[in-house]
Structures are given as structure tokens and as C-alpha cells.
């Protein structure tokens, strides 16, 4: 059961109302509900138990919650209000919608009007919480979309950089191949006009001079071997061995079966 705040005080100016609520013990948490005609403050304080000899904290004793409820005398701007929680008090500052001095803080309202104002305040507070949660969710979703767009832009820049590198390498390779083809064509023409031995290339691939010379030498040797006329071997001496009558058609001995 919440307890009433004892010894609370309030001050005012032409434009602001200030309410101070004392705390019993160390500061805990404070739940505040505020509308233009209603104010509710509920705190949960903690009492620190210390050892007299060592002055060390021995335990934390949770006190019952304290409740402050006020049906305000005049409307206030709750959106511009501020609250400050210290170790000894809760200080609430509310700007007035209509400047002027109040004769009292709480309005003289009956039970029905108090119930109506309380229900309206709680409904408005729930709507504000829902709206805040929705705004936070939308802000989080927008941050996620922004991060996704930024990541996609970075990936696109990286792909563009890779494409440019590939294009540069391709152009460089084409230039090198063009230079090699131009140099190989000149060597082929020189080899074709010198010595009458034909073009110094095979297909589109130019040959080095050493390879060309080796192939020409092998070709000449093969030609001499193939074009060599057979010689007359009738005057050659017969090979040593058995008599011709024991030999076959090739002059070699027959095998016994």
C-alpha cells in the first residue's frame, strides 16, 4: 500500500509551478504521470543500514512506495515539464499555460471529477507510451534502412572499382598482344625472304631462329635418307654361317620344328 508523501512543499512564479517531494533513504526509482490537470508521482526508495563500528553498508532495506497525487488548480504544459531525482528529494517543474499566481496547488474537485481526471490522465499516459514505443520502433527501422542503403552503396562502389581494374587489365593485355603480333610478323617476313627456305612460322605462331634451324636440319637429313638410291650388294661377301642350302629365302637358318 503506497504511503502519502510527508512534508512536501511547492513554490510558484508567474509562469512556473515547482513541487518538491522529500525522500526517506537513498534514491531509488520514480514513476511520474502528468497531464495538464493531473500529477502522480510514485517513488521506491532504499534505506542503507550501516555498521556503527566500521561504517560499512550491511544491508539495503526497501521501504514501501510513496505516492503523491494532485489535481492541479490550473492547466499546465506537461510536455515542457521537467523532473529531477536526487538522493534526498524529487523536484518537479511544470510551466503554466496561463501566466498568473495560483491561490492553491490542488483544485477543489469532487469524487466524480477526480475519477474522471484520473482515468483521462492514465489513458493519455498509455497513449503517450504507445506513441513513444512506436516512434522508437520507426526510428530504429529508419536507422536499419539507412545502414542497409549505406552498405549497398559501399558494395556498389567496390564492384565498380573491381570492374575498372578488370577493364584496365584487359586493355593492358590487348596492348601487349598487339605488340607481340606486330613483332612476330616482322620476324616472319625476314625469315621468309632470306635463304628461300619458306616462312619462319607455324600457323600464326612465330618460331625462334634456333628452333627453325633445327627443324630445317632434321628435314634435310630425313630427305637425304628417303631419297638415297639403293646400292648393288651382289659383290658383297656373304655373311659367315651355314651353307645356303640350309638357309631360307632370307639366307638365315631355319628353325627345327
Half-sphere exposure of 164 (CA within 13 A, CB side): 6
Q: Answer yes or no: is 189 within a domain.
A: no
Other C-beta atoms lying within 10 Å of the C-beta of residue 245: 5
Q: Answer yes or no: is 9 within a domain.
A: yes
Other C-beta atoms lying within 10 Å of the C-beta of residue 76: 23
Other C-beta atoms lying within 10 Å of the C-beta of residue 45: 21
Band (219; pLDDT cuts 50, 70, 90):
low
Domain that holds residue 15: 3-108
Q: Answer yes or no: is 45 within a domain.
A: yes
Q: Answer yes or no: is 37 within a domain.
A: yes
Other C-beta atoms lying within 10 Å of the C-beta of residue 43: 23
- Residue 11 buriedness (CB in 10 A; 0-12 / 13-18 / 19+): exposed
In Å, the largest CA–CA distance within the chain is: 160
Count of structural domains, the chain: 1
More confident residue, 192 or 24: 24
Per-residue pLDDT tens over the stretch 142-161: 888 888 899 999 999 999 99
| Averaged pLDDT for residues 15-27 | 79
Q: What is the mean pLDDT of the chain?
A: 72
- CA 208, distance to chain mean position in Å, is 55
pTM over 0.85: no
Q: Answer yes or no: is 142 within a domain.
A: no
Q: Answer yes or no: is 161 within a domain.
A: no
Q: What is the CATH number of the domain that holds 43?
A: 2.60.40.790
96 close to 115: Cβ distance less than 8 angstroms: no
Per-residue confidence (pLDDT) for residue 162, from 0 to 100: 94
Q: Answer yes or no: is 64 within a domain.
A: yes
**Percent of all residues in the chain with a pLDDT value above 70, rounded to a whole number:** 60
> What is the distance between the alpha carbons of residues 21 and 106, in angstroms, rounded to a whole number?
15
Per-residue pLDDT tens over the stretch 29-76: 778 888 888 888 887 765 555 555 545 444 444 566 778 888 888 888
67 close to 5: Cβ distance less than 8 angstroms: yes
250 close to 238: Cβ distance less than 8 angstroms: no
24 close to 45: Cβ distance less than 8 angstroms: yes
Q: Answer yes or no: is 35 within a domain.
A: yes
Amino acid at each position: 500500500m503506497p504511503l502519502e508523501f510527508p512534508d512536501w512543499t511547492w513554490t510558484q512564479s508567474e509562469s512556473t509551478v515547482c513541487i518538491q517531494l522529500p525522500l526517506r533513504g537513498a534514491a531509488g526509482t520514480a514513476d511520474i504521470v502528468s497531464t495538464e490537470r493531473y500529477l502522480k508521482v510514485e517513488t521506491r526508495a532504499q534505506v542503507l543500514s550501516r555498521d556503527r563500528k566500521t561504517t560499512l553498508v550491511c544491508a539495503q532495506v526497501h521501504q514501501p512506495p510513496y505516492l503523491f497525487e494532485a489535481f492541479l488548480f490550473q492547466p499546465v504544459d506537461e510536455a515542457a515539464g521537467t523532473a529531477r531525482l536526487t538522493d534526498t528529494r524529487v523536484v518537479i517543474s511544470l510551466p503554466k499555460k496561463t501566466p498568473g499566481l495560483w491561490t492553491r496547488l490542488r483544485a477543489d474537485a469532487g469524487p466524480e471529477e477526480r475519477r474522471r481526471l484520473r482515468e483521462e490522465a492514465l489513458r493519455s499516459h498509455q497513449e503517450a507510451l504507445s506513441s513513444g514505443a512506436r516512434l522508437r520502433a520507426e526510428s530504429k527501422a529508419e536507422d536499419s534502412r539507412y545502414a542497409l542503403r549505406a552498405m549497398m552503396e559501399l558494395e556498389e562502389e567496390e564492384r565498380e572499382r573491381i570492374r575498372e581494374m578488370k577493364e584496365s587489365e584487359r586493355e593492358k593485355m590487348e596492348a601487349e598482344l598487339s605488340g607481340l603480333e606486330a613483332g612476330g610478323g616482322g620476324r616472319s617476313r625476314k625469315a621468309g625472304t632470306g635463304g628461300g627456305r619458306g616462312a619462319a612460322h607455324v600457323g600464326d605462331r612465330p618460331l625462334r631462329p634456333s628452333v627453325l634451324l633445327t627443324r630445317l636440319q632434321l628435314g634435310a637429313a630425313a630427305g637425304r635418307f628417303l631419297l638415297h638410291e639403293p646400292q648393288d650388294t651382289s659383290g658383297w661377301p656373304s655373311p659367315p654361317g651355314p651353307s645356303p642350302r640350309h638357309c631360307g629365302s632370307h639366307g638365315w637358318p631355319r628353325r627345327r620344328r
